[in-house]
Amino acid sequence: MARINDHYLKLKAGYLFPEIGRRVTEFTKANPQAKVIRLGIGDVTRPLAPAVIQAFHQAIDDLGTTENFAGYGPEQGYEWLSQVIIDKSYKPLGVELTTNEIFISDGSKCDCANILDIFALDNVVAIGDPVYPVYNDTNVMVGRTGEADEKGYYKGIVYMPFTADNNFIPDLPKEEVDIIYLCYPNNPTGTVASKEELKKWVDYARANDAVIFFDAAYEAFITTPGIPHSIYEIEGAKECAIEFRSFSKTAGFTGVRCGLVVVPEQLTGTTASGEKYNLNRLWKRRVTTKFNGASYPVQRAAAAVYSDEGWQQTRDIIAYYMKNARIIREGLQAAGVECYGGVDAPYIWLKTPKGMNSWEFFDKLLNECHVVGTPGSGFGPSGEGYFRLSAFGERSNVETAVQRIRNTWGK
């Protein structure tokens, strides 16, 4: 008799974004004439940079020749990619890394989930509320939690509220925790943390032998000088933090799939018998056993992001999205909407109209404005009363959406 993993049954029926997709499909079926604008899931809309496309084509041609054919690559990723990431993305921040510390993958969502493989189940995990649902749900799936209470909080997880009241910077948890998820620039609130604020977490982690999972998927969208792009800009972070990065939003790879994990060589965890054990070594063991590397053309395409032309072209695309973010933020603020984010991140986090919860507002926007966003409560109980709009749309769609929302606001 094949028993299932019962922990899955503790989860809400569906993952957030497919649930939104289901409601939108139902609406469009019933209203085929409606021109629906999708600012829900943070999915990019601009084509890949020309330098990336060129590298992709070249890599495919390589596979068609005996001389340049590539079979299995290194499980951890090609060194030519890791090295260019270090040179172009970490060195300018004053962060020194070796290629041995970088693990190229097929995307950050998988990395955030897979990393749990190398940590014991009895670690106490702290996550934000609201939060990228993957952090919460994957901990439920592996069996680290009990059931959810009526609000949606799972027993065993320490939730740290990210709300306007604390300026979206939670206090250190009162409980002693072993693993802390931080995401800055933050998904879903679009807010950032200063060096001083991150230092507080690094100090806590070092003092408590905890590990920080730092999700920097949106670092390329930071526009404010001085805001850290990497946790390793904070002194001592290499002793206590794993960093996740993604090409999805940075270079439009949501459909291409590529990400990376940094596991510093000096980072350790503790064995059951109380000895220190090297986490880089453990993660490498996991990666070499369960993964055969991101595909060769994808890694070639990713490397092209760091060429001079590729870098400029992807920065231009990011600037396009950030102009969208400004149009949404300023357009809604001018109509009296309370908005956060959208300055250093491609998400605008707005307060729903008085008396309306997140899903009610979702339905109103869909039905009256034909605009899709993401209900804040889908990211956790403290997201109730908020709503997320993504800046990854086409410019004219974004402008139309803002106009439509303004016209309906308060009605």
In the complex, minimum distance from the CB of residue 252 to ligand MLT, in angstroms, rounded to a whole number: 12
Question: Per DSSP, which regions of 47-110 are E strands?
Answer: 102-105
Total number of residues binding ligand MLT (CB under 6 A)?
Answer: 6
Interface with ligand MLT, residue 99, by CB under 6 A: no
Q: Smallest distance from the beta carbon of 184 to ligand MLT, in angstroms?
A: 14
Our CB check for ligand MLT shows the closer of 21 and 152 to be 21
Grouping H, G, I as helix, E, B as strand and the rest as coil, residue 121 is coil
Q: Choose the stretch contacting ligand MLT; rule: CB under 6 A; options: 37-45, 56-64, 312-320, 361-369.
A: 37-45
- What is the number of the residue whose Cβ is closest to ligand MLT? 42
Angle formed by the axes of helices 296-304 and 50-63, to 10°?
Answer: 150
Among 109, 229, 245, 257, interactor with ligand MLT by CB under 6 A: 109
- The stretch among 40-48, 150-158, 293-301, 355-363 that binds ligand MLT (CB under 6 A) is 40-48
Q: List the one residue from 24, 36, 41, 356 that touches ligand MLT (CB under 6 A).
A: 41
Least Cβ distance, residue 23 to ligand MLT (angstroms) = 15
- Determine the distance from the C-alpha atom of residue 256 to the mean position of all C-alpha atoms in its chain, rounded to a whole number: 16
229 binds ligand MLT (CB under 6 A): no
Nearer to ligand MLT, 296 or 387 (CB): 387
CA distances from 289 to 81, 103, 106, 282, 284 (A): 21, 14, 15, 11, 8
The Cα 156–Cα 146 span in angstroms is 6
Q: From residue 388, give the alpha-carbon distance in Å to each of 162, 375, 408.
A: 14, 6, 17
Q: How far is the CB of 397 from ligand MLT (least distance, A)?
A: 16
The 10 Å CB-count burial string (b at 16+, else e) for 33-58 is eeeebbbbbbbbbbebbebbebbbee
Q: Is 187 in the site for ligand MLT (CB under 6 A)?
A: yes
Q: How far is CA 138 from the centre of its chain?
A: 14
Please report which helix (H) or strand (E) contains residue 79, including its range.
helix 79-85
User: Which residues are near ligand MLT by CB under 6 A?
Assistant: 41-43, 109, 132, 187
